[in-house]
Amino acid sequence: MGRGQGVTDMAPVAEAPLSVSTPLTFLIADVRGYTRFVVERGDEAATRLAVKFAGVTRDMVSEHGGRVIELRGDEALAVFESARGALRASVALQQRFAEESRLTPEQPLPVGIGIDTGEAIPVEDGYRGAALNLAARLCSLAAPGEILASDTVAGVARKLTGLAYAERGLVQLKGFSSPVKVVQVVPAGPEHVRSTSVSTDERIEQRLPIGGFLGSLPSGTLIGRHEQLGQVLTAIDSTTRSDGRLIMLAGEAGVGKTRLAQEVTLVARNRGFLIATGACYEPEHATPFYPFLDALAGLYEIAPVSVRNQVATQWAYLGRLLPNQTLPVPAISLDTREDLQRLFWAVTAFLQAIAEREPIAVLLDDLQWADGSSLSLLLHLARHTRSHRILLLGTYRDVEVDRSHPLEGVLLDLTRQQLVERIAVLRLPIDGTATLVADALGELEVSDEFARLLYHHTEGNPFFLHEVLRALVERGDVYREGGGWERRTLEEIEVPDTIRAVVGQRLSRLTEQAQEILHEASVLGQTFLFDDLRAVTRSGTEREEEIEAALEEAINAGLMREVGRDSYAFSHALTRQSLYSELPSRRKRRLHLIAGEALEQAPERDRERRLAELAGHFLGAQDTGRALRYAMLVADRAAATFAHDDAAQYYRIALDLAGESGEQRREAEASEKMGGLMTATIRYDEALWMLERAARLYRAVGDREGEGRVVAQIGRVHYSTAEAERGVSRLEPAIETLTIGGSAQALAGVTSVLSKLYFARARYIDALSTAERAAGLAKTANDNGVLAEAEITRGSSLAMLGRWRDGQRALEDSIPVAEAAGDVFSVCRALQNAASVHLVRGDFDAHRRSMERALVLAKKMGNYRQEAATNFGLSVNAFVVGDWAQAHRYADSTLAMMSALGATWKSGYHLPGLTSLAVAEGRWREASRFLEECVAISSETGDVQTLQAAQEVQAERDLLQGRSEDARKRLEALLGESCGVQPSTGVGAIPRGHYVVAGTHHVTGLLLLLAWAYVQTGDTVRADELVAGGIAEASAEDVRLALVEWHRIHGISLTRAEWWDEAEEAFGAAVLLAHHMPYPYAEARSLHEWSRMETVRKEIDRAREKLTASLQMFERLGALPYVEIARAELADLR
């Protein structure tokens, strides 16, 4: 409420003040969100709410021996002679407010209560005094349904039956007096639950401490930041309307970013937000997702039970960021980039699920020290929480973020996408400085001269100001006299020029022993454990007592704070930095070595958690061997949690250390892992360089297994970069070498990758034979993972060669192999490829079932690329069965996911299908846009199959728009030498020789269209040759999707030759086959051509019947080009 002295401005109730002969207890209650209630519900509803609040307050206060002496709408002040009565009244009030809210939810009473005991001065309109001010302060900090009281109240009231006290932290009063301990008053006993006047949920109550760090409620008042706070409040308002926001508070160290974020915490908490906070520290900048570990752990603890119960099944990857929870975590796949996306989407979905129930504020401090993985996750959240009740807020030191800083790149991306609002937190002007100094001293104002002097030395930095004032008070330059503050002459006040000098002055107030211990503690980082500090100092009980005394001194001096059981933190990062910089280099090395060796003796679980610290200490100690070992472990852990930037940093450190020490095997291992990391982050040139380096090193130490593993990875990079021919050239000699002296497992892996490279270049016969060999090697090596990969390539190659039955069997057989290997990703791929075979063979139900099963697995994995691919498959299914509206929904979902995932080898595969849908509906411009995009992406990535599919769709568009000759030329160019003509040399052309294998799936599609083009251009002889071969092949393999088209084209050709009976038979076969699949678009097109045949032979009634039937089907589907043609033809028949 921001009362203090202003609390007595409320309208007085006509009752005489109580006597002040004994201490009084003040209770202040405030209805949270009242202003917003007035805006949203109107004055009349607000008046009813205020009347109800006043009535309940008067009843409960009076019943427990107190008096309501002031009321103002949403605020009430009551006074009691008994602290016990005030406490009992507060609990009764909250229980009554909760009951009223349940009975009339349209008039909720979310009330916070603050209580303090002390002497007060009666005045005409109420009371004045410190107790009243503290009660008001506690009321402003209390959450809806909460009661906060000073420990003075608890001490006076002593133990009360049915009540308990929970410590919440310290509130700093003005004038540098001792902080006041705050307790929360709660009903005691398991039968009691939190009394709250807001809607209850299954989530655990969130109790925020009071302190000076992000994640706590502010212990002091906010000075000079109301404009910036107003900007954030606007964002909070937007967030409550499901319009999520990202706010970044930028400013130098000590300028008040965290303090402003604390005020945001208070406001958001009072608006019903769940608060999740995390902080970054420089020593932990390489710890993956460091700020999110705390934020997500805290959010998980208070999340609704229904949401927590879904984590293991719906968002399993979230378990990687909840190390303290016993949650199952999925195994890491070969594609770490995919794993990273799964983790990001798991975090996003978890937050979104909670936000469906209650709004969330995620606040992250000091992002200039954030690890790369955290910045990537923040960027992802900003992109995907915009339409949810999720407020993201970060703070960072802008002076430490230059153009090369990772955070700057993220900020540029966010700014370009209009996803962030940056708020500059600047130094206070001279008047703001004066206000802050007056507030700190507990005065109404200070002299201009004193304010200017402090401003001159601190330049308005709030942290500097507080530290300078504290030093002046401790040194006696500013002192209390006669109830106010006095100071020595200005010339005698020695104010430090920098914060280091301020820390030095305050440090000098400690004993020499305490100073020495704090210097040693600075080696341990911003936060540290008591046992760690004891380890770097002399051991023994006597020394332990000295450490305790030193820490107590430092806490009392404001240089440190206790953050947990035996856990301490420096009051400010600059404090630790100042101390650390004063240590001589030799002493730093010695202390780092002691700290590292002490950590090595810790239990294994603790060591695993603190690997980054171990690496840092041995680096600081210049112990190359142990620094190398721990740097590799840190990098491996970072890679396992998809923190690629952090992993790269430590792999580079390991590479340097291994190179210096001449450990070639460790250098090879680091090079291999760095290469894998570069691959995952699509830095393919660097990946190839690093992997080739690893291969040379493994060869030098005679490790054929390692060399083969790396060569396989090199092949995967070439596969991803559309340089399949380079990959083939690299892997084929390696296979010869491994065949002579390598292991079966290494050879199997390389051979399997080679088969994929052949497949990528449409060398399906080579892909088939190589996949068969890889499968045999994998069986020998008992490697089900490689076996499943090889079997999928084998089945897909068989299908592409037109051996659909064999391909289907191989793909279906690969599914249990992948399941046995625990390879969910391969199971998903096998189901997708098997579904494609079902589609081509006209079994649309089987296609849909396989795709739906794949979709479940993709979601389970959190693999959004596979989910996008499966959505596309379901879009195709909806198209062929005639549900084009559903096809659009799946297509839109596919587009959204693919746009978010970025470019990969298959990033354009969905575009030909979307183009086909657009062509069928007559959306020509959209079809052109899809085609252009598809050709551009596929040409760039080298995706031969998708490029040809795009050309097929373009040829079909030419045929539908009457450009039959253009279609013929395009198709003959694509078929190249197989049709006896030269391949096209235009943009997106297929290189000569790629489609010379008769019977392949894509050639079948090309031949179908080419036959149609030949018919349209009058070349019926060549059309009939193609049709005869096509019908024979499709019938042999039961490829009904192609067979219905061959029959339709055959009927068109026979119509041109005026072979009426044969044409009618062909059209009848096409219609019957399409109807039974069912494939309504193909059925309608066949009926339409049949009606044309009847028209040509003057059977007008039969023509009209078939044309009408086809028109009705076209209209139902939304096939506008055919609708327009059929309507015109029907009009001509009349």
Beta strands, E only, 357-483? 360-365, 390-396, 421-424, 478-481
Indicate the burial class of 817 (C-beta count within 10 angstroms; 0-12, 13-18, 19 or more): buried
Span 684-726, pLDDT tens digits: 888 899 999 999 999 899 888 888 889 998 998 887 776 778 8
Between 668 and 561, where is the model more confident? 668
Longest dimension (CA), the chain: 120
Residue 1003 is predicted with a pLDDT of 54
Between 558 and 1109, where is the model more confident? 1109
Do 116 and 131 meet the contact criterion of CB atoms below 8 Å apart? Answer: yes
| Average pLDDT for 433-462 | 81
How far apart (Å, rounded) are the C-alpha atoms in residues 180 and 4?
16
| Average pLDDT for 659-663 | 87
Question: Which fold would CATH assign to domain 4-200?
Answer: Alpha-Beta Plaits (3.30.70)
Q: How confident is the model at residue 641 (pLDDT cuts 50, 70, 90)?
A: confident
Question: Is a pLDDT exceeding 70 seen at residue 1037?
Answer: yes
Span 931-955, pLDDT tens digits: 777 677 666 656 666 666 677 777 7
Question: Is a pLDDT exceeding 80 seen at residue 989?
Answer: no
Do 959 and 727 meet the contact criterion of CB atoms below 8 Å apart? Answer: no
Q: Tell me phi and psi for residue 165, to 5 degrees.
A: -120, 135
Do 681 and 655 meet the contact criterion of CB atoms below 8 Å apart? Answer: no
| 3-state secondary structure (DSSP) of residue 563 | strand
Assigned token pair, 955: 């040829």
Span 151-169, pLDDT tens digits: 889 888 888 888 888 888 7
Rounded (5°) CA angle 700-647-720 = 70
DSSP code, position 603: -
754-757: long-range contacts (C-beta < 8 A, 24 or more apart)? 754/715, 754/727, 754/728, 755/790, 755/793, 755/794, 755/797, 756/715, 756/719, 756/789, 756/793, 757/715, 757/718, 757/719, 757/724, 757/727, 757/728, 757/731
Do 90 and 154 meet the contact criterion of CB atoms below 8 Å apart? Answer: no
Average pLDDT, the chain: 82
Q: How far does CA 306 lie from the centroid of its chain?
A: 21
Question: Is a pLDDT exceeding 60 seen at residue 541?
Answer: no
Residue 1074 is predicted with a pLDDT of 92
Distances (CA, A) of 924 to 203, 909, 919: 52, 19, 6
Assigned token pair, 1068: 């009848």
| Average pLDDT for 797-822 | 89
Domain 217-424: CATH architecture, name and number where available: 3-Layer(aba) Sandwich (3.40)
Residue 995 is predicted with a pLDDT of 28
Question: Is a pLDDT exceeding 80 seen at residue 352?
Answer: yes
Domain 1018-1134: CATH architecture, name and number where available: Alpha Horseshoe (1.25)
| 3-state secondary structure (DSSP) of residue 210 | strand
Q: How confident is the model at residue 189 (pLDDT cuts 50, 70, 90)?
A: low
Residue 943 is predicted with a pLDDT of 61
Query: What's the sign of the alpha-carbon dihedral 556, 558, 561, 566?
Result: negative
Residue 484 is predicted with a pLDDT of 66
Q: How far does CA 888 lie from the centroid of its chain?
A: 27
Q: Residues near 561 by Cβ (< 8 Å), separated by ≥ 6?
A: 211, 212, 213, 555, 568, 569, 571
How far apart (Å, rounded) are the C-alpha atoms in residues 144 and 916?
57
How far apart (Å, rounded) are the C-alpha atoms in residues 260 and 566?
29
Do 64 and 92 meet the contact criterion of CB atoms below 8 Å apart? Answer: yes
Element (H, E) at 487: strand 484-487
Do 101 and 53 meet the contact criterion of CB atoms below 8 Å apart? Answer: no
Distances (CA, A) of 427 to 222, 285, 365, 368, 572: 14, 27, 18, 19, 17
Owner of token pair 């699949």: 1077
Span 286-314, pLDDT tens digits: 888 999 999 999 999 999 888 998 998 88
Q: Tell me phi and psi for residue 493, to 5 degrees.
A: -85, 110
Assigned token pair, 67: 């008096």
Q: Residues near 1105 by Cβ (< 8 Å), separated by ≥ 6?
A: 1091
How far apart (Å, rounded) are the C-alpha atoms in residues 906 and 832?
14
Percent with pLDDT over 70 in the chain: 86
The domains of the chain are located at: 4-200, 217-424, 430-497, 501-583, 586-685, 1018-1134
Assigned token pair, 883: 């549900």
Span 462-486, pLDDT tens digits: 888 887 787 788 777 777 766 666 7
Q: Tell me phi and psi for residue 810, to 5 degrees.
A: -65, -45
How far apart (Å, rounded) are the C-alpha atoms in residues 332 and 432?
54
| Average pLDDT for 578-600 | 88
Assigned token pair, 330: 């999925």
Q: Report the predicted TM-score, pTM, of the whole model to 2 decimal places.
A: 0.59
Neighbours of 584 (CB within 10 A): 8
Q: How confident is the model at residue 903 (pLDDT cuts 50, 70, 90)?
A: very low
- 3-class secondary structure for 870-881? HHHHHHHHHHHH
Question: Is a pLDDT exceeding 90 seen at residue 114?
Answer: yes
| 3-state secondary structure (DSSP) of residue 745 | helix
How many helices and strands, by DSSP H and E, does the chain display?
A: 49, 21
Question: Is a pLDDT exceeding 90 seen at residue 1038?
Answer: no
How far apart (Å, rounded) are the C-alpha atoms in residues 1112 and 1101?
17
Residue 392 is predicted with a pLDDT of 96
Assigned token pair, 1127: 């309507």
Do 172 and 214 meet the contact criterion of CB atoms below 8 Å apart? Answer: no
501-583: in CATH 3.20.20.80: no
Q: How confident is the model at residue 204 (pLDDT cuts 50, 70, 90)?
A: low
Count CA within 13 A, CB hemisphere, residue 659: 10
Residue 872 is predicted with a pLDDT of 86
Burial 861-875 (b: 16+ CB within 10 A, else e): bbbbbbbbbbbbbbb
Residue 542 is predicted with a pLDDT of 57
Query: What's the sign of the alpha-carbon dihedral 669, 673, 679, 685?
Result: negative
Owner of token pair 């291999």: 672
How far apart (Å, rounded) are the C-alpha atoms in residues 771 and 787?
9
